[in-house]
Each structure stands twice: as C-alpha cells, then as structure tokens.
Amino acid sequence: MVPEKEVVEHRPGLLILYSDGSFERPSDLDVPACADFDTSPNGVATRDVIIDGAEAGIWARIFLPRAALTLGRRSLPVVLHFHGGGFCIGSPSSAHIHRTCSRMANKSSCIWISLYYRLAPEHPLPAAYDDAFSALLWLRTQASLVMVEEREPTVNCLNDDGASKMKADPWLSEYADFSSCFLSGDSAGGTIVHFLAARASGENLSPLHMKGMLLVHPAFPQEAPRSSMELSNVKVSFFHTSALPPGAPFGHPLMNPLHPESPIDLAQLTLPPALVAAASNDPLLPGDVAYFQALRRAGHEAQFFESQGMGHCFHTCYDESSPAFAGSINALERVMVSFIERNRIMQGDTPGRPRAEARRSTELRTEILKQGVIRNPIQVQPCEQVS
C-alpha cells in the first residue's frame, strides 16, 4: 500500500508542501487580459504574449496605458517586470500583480511587461533567472524587428518557403521606445532584476538601451531567519528552502549576491542606475541596505528609498482605496516614476516625450527630498534585524 502523503508545511491561502515533495498552490484570483481601454476596469489595455512556449511555457502580459493614444508613436518607455512570491507563487494574471502593473503603467506612462517565469520548487533557481534572460533577449528581438520594419516597410512578409516572417508585437511596434528600457521587480522579482542585470552586463543588447533597474523590497537574505521572521505569514526560510536546489545553505550565492563566495564581483559589472526601495518593518531591510551600500562602494549609481512604518511589499497587498496605505503607496510609486523619468531624460534622447515631464521630474525630486524619505549614501546607517 502506498503511504498517504502528509502535509509538511501549510500556509493558508498561499501554498501547501507535502511529504513526497509535491507542492500545491491554491487557485489565484486571476484577471483575464482585456485589450480594450474602455472596457478595462482600470483603463489600461492588456494582452498576453508567448515568450518561449515551445520549451518552458514562458509568457508575459503587456500593460499599455491610455497615454499611448496621446503621447505619440514609439514614445513610451518599456519596463520589463518580475513579480514577487518567493520564487514559488504568483503570475502576471494574479489579481494583486495585475493591479500593481496596471497602476504603474498608468502613473509612469510606460509599457509594462510582466513575465510569467517558472516557479520553484518544481523549477528551483536558476530557472527563474534563465527565463528572465530569455525574456530580455525576446525584447531585444522585438526591438530589432521594429528596426527592420522601419527600414523596409514594404518588404514581402513571406519567406521563400511561403511561411510568414516573424513580425514585432503590434503594440510594441507602434508604441514602444526601445531606447528607454528598465528592469523592475518586487521581492523575489527584485532579486531576479539583480541577477538578470549581472548576466546582461557586457551583453550587446542593441537596439535595446537599458536606462535603469528598480528593485522594490528585493530578497537578499543575509543570515538564517529567526522564527519571528515572517512575510505575510510565510516564513522566509520556507521560501528560501523551496527556491534553492536541495541542500543549498541559507544565504546561498544564487540568492545573495553579497555572499563571500559569490562568483559575481559588483565592481566588475556594467550596471544601469538602480533604485533600491525598502520598508522599515520589512525583515529583509538589512539585506536591502547592504545591497545598496555595496552598489555605491562598487562605483554604481544608486538611490535608496525607505517607506516608514510599512511592511514587505505592502504596495502589492493593498491598493489606494486603503486609507492606512494610500499615502505610502503613492509616495513609493511617485519615487519610482521620478526615477524612470529622470534616467530616461538624463541618459539619452526622449522622442515624443513632452519637456514638461522633465520639469515635473525635477519638482517631484525636490518635494520628495523635502519629506526626508530618500536617504543619500552618507545618511544610510547599518540596520538592526527587524523582528
């Protein structure tokens, strides 16, 4: 008789791990894509595209803001986004992820592309990093196809064998400004952003131009957690163990770029400017601060922002209708928008972008600095572990 599998770990509403190693995720509250601005509940058009369907089943959801209709052709920066969930849960169609990307697409007037990557423990790291790199190469291909279409608009769309030639995604072809691309990620997604940027360092991504990376509450665990270290009722150690290959110790270099045995030397990388956003009540705050300081010591441009009195990824768990969180959500997202606008303007041409946005970016920066919520590298102090 085959013994019944037993529940080893149960996190209500999130995941169940069984004694035979199998994993169960409850059904997400999925939001279907809607390509119509007028019928979409938030005014953002969305559609799903295949990135690598043949092998890994990787896909992405494109979030197109209504601003696309007024800002001009090929004028919207592109943000390649990676959701959080401890490398184990989540999808671009999950309600909270869809809501967050829709909100940011609207506020930033950017095209957001949210990736579905393979999840642990079925696919432990570095599977998610490999999928992220595949998505970046897919985006480079899209940019190249747009260049070909621009150069040869009347070329026959069939190959010699009669098969259709590859064409760029119509939304990206019409609206994307590939000279202004950004990487973004929350929690585990922020970890993916770092390792993707490191892997792409020195890579010829032309005609893509990477202008910045946004790491929001990234997961860079520095030490084994205490029992009280929990994120939304999910133990850090549980996600850590599930995401890494069997037997990997806590703080393994696959997840912690600051590990003494990490093969990656930050000083040797070519990285775009970084925004590291943290929260004062997040157990992962010390790792976020340490990562920011390491970037600065290695000579990279980096900005640090800390949401006071907030916990891990509060901006994805709640929306602006929650009075207790609305102010903090708006402050964080204004910093993100300011970072995108400033780095796009400072590092290159901004086709189709009104000059007023440059002034607004400067005004936002000044206002935020007055609030005292952005720390410069001199002001950042080592943090005690938050219990």
Mean pLDDT of the chain: 83
Tens digits of per-residue pLDDT, 239-294?
A: 888 899 888 888 899 999 999 999 999 999 999 999 999 999 999 999 999 999 99
pLDDT by residue (tens digit) across 97-156? 999 999 999 999 999 999 999 999 889 999 999 999 999 999 999 999 999 988 876 455
Residue partners of 22: CB distance under 8 A and separation at least 6: 5
Identify the structural domains of the chain with CATH numbers, from first to last.
48-151+168-375 (3.40.50.1820)
pLDDT value of position 54: 64
Strand extents, DSSP E, the chain: 7-11, 15-18, 23-24, 45-52, 58-64, 76-82, 111-116, 176-186, 210-216, 230-231, 234-235, 274-279, 302-307, 374-375
Strands 176-186 and 76-82: parallel
Predicted local distance difference test score (pLDDT) of residue 383: 30
Q: What is the pLDDT of residue 8?
A: 74
User: What pLDDT was estimated at residue 155?
Assistant: 53
Identify the residue whose tokens are 């990093």. Answer: 129
pLDDT above 70: residue 354: no
User: Is the model more confident about 101 or about 167?
Assistant: 101
Question: Mean of the pLDDT values across residues 5-17?
Answer: 73
How many CB atoms within 10 Å of residue 3?
Answer: 7
Q: Where residue 3 falls among pLDDT bands split at 50, 70, 90?
A: low
Q: What is the pLDDT of residue 1?
A: 53
Please identify every residue annotated as catalytic: 187, 282, 312
Distance CA 162, CA 55 (A): 25
Q: What is the pLDDT, as a whole number, of residue 202? A: 86
Higher per-residue pLDDT: 328 or 354: 328
**Distance separating alpha carbons of residues 177 and 143, to the nearest angstrom:** 9
Quote the radius of gyration of the chain (alpha carbons, Å). 21
Band of pLDDT at residue 166, cut at 50, 70 and 90: confident
Q: How confident is the model at residue 225 (pLDDT cuts 50, 70, 90)?
A: low
pLDDT band at residue 230, thresholds of 50, 70 and 90?
low
For the residues 366-382, what does the mean pLDDT come to? Answer: 33
Name the 3-class secondary structure at 217: coil
By the 10 Å C-beta count (0-12 exposed, 13-18 middle, 19+ buried), 55 is classed as exposed
pLDDT for position 311: 92
Task: Give the torsion sign (CA, 279, 362, 44, 139).
Answer: negative
Q: Is the pLDDT of residue 299 over 90?
A: yes
CA gap 240, 155 in Å, rounded: 51
Ranges assigned E (strand) in 83-134: 111-116
Average pLDDT over residues 315-335: 88
**Is the pLDDT confidence value at 339 over 90?**
yes
**Is pLDDT of 158 > 50?**
no
Mean pLDDT of 220-227: 67
Q: What is the pLDDT of residue 97?
A: 96
In which residue are the tokens 């970046």 written? 136
Residue 179's nearest CA partner among 75, 25, 90, 85 is 75
Q: Can you say how many angstroms the Cα of residue 179 is from the centroid of all Cα atoms in its chain?
A: 19
